[in-house]
Amino acid sequence: VGRTEYGLAPVATREWLGYVWVCLAENPPSFEEDVIGDVVARLGDAEAIEHYDIASLSVGKRFVYDVKANWKLIIENFMECYHCATIHPELTEVLPEFADGFAAQYYVGHGAEFGEAVKGFTVDGSEGLDRIPGVAEDQDRRYYAITVRPQVFINLVPDHVIFHRMYPVAVDRTVVECDWLYLPHVVDSDKDVSRSVELFHRVNQQDFEACERTQPGMSSRMYAKGGVLVPSEHHIGAFHDWVNERLGTRRQQAGRPLSPGGPSDGRSPPRP
């Protein structure tokens, strides 16, 4: 009786990309449609991410960030790149097209190309680590950013993968756990990954500071519409619609009212 009435509650789980994805919803949505579907929508097909064989990679570095901002601000920031030229000098040196303000997620299947003189995805553009064998020729020297709603970012480059997980702990605070994944022999041989890690560590710090500076305005009682979406932000608009659908609200044409909380209908997709 005790085990039946007071035992652990069952939850839906799925192992993918080397992580365990958990969904607490009583009726979990389709993993293929909601999670893998986000990857397909970004890359064009599911096979593209398999080239990186993420499940076989090892953690070379992990940072945990305590961000004083709502999780939706972090997602919006990750999706747009108007800010890139002004706060990401190291990133735009490696990915020159980001200086023009277009995020890599704007085009389906597009990966931002490394600069001509750049040798690797490192803080100074120097040589990276050993390339992941399965990476296709058309994926080489390119960076792909993927948002898996609600709280996962996947960043793909030829020699490593950067994997973010966000854990909202308050309406104005989010803990972000970020892994840098490399080929096992790179980690086991204790190769120096610091220049590789430092690039996106700086990007994270710069982004999270920007989000924290935005949060006070979002916390205001006057906050309602939040701004106007232009056509080049269609992917951000889709995220707003996704949130509002789960909140049971509708995005106004003049702006995008978002609750400072999160999805509350019990249908949020799995997260690792």
Backbone angles phi, psi at 117, to 5 degrees: -90, 0
pLDDT at site 1? 59
Q: CA 11 to CA 22: how far, in whole Å? A: 7
Domains assigned to the chain:
57-247 (3.90.380.10)
Distance CA 196, CA 201 (A): 9
Per-residue DSSP letter, 189: T
Task: Provide the whole-model pTM.
Answer: 0.88
Tell me if the bond preceding 150 is cis, omega within 30° of 0.
Answer: yes
Structure confidence at residue 253 (pLDDT): 44
What's the CA gap between 168 and 152, in Å, rounded? 12
Q: Is the pLDDT of residue 256 over 50?
A: no
> pLDDT tens for residues 137-183?
999 999 999 999 999 999 999 999 999 999 999 999 999 999 999 99
Classify 98 as helix, strand or coil.
helix
pLDDT of residue 40 exceeding 50: yes
Residue-wise pLDDT tens digits, 18-38: 999 999 988 999 999 999 999
Q: Is the pLDDT of residue 120 over 90?
A: yes
89 preceded by cis ω (within 30°)?
Answer: no
Query: How high is the pLDDT of residue 260?
Result: 33
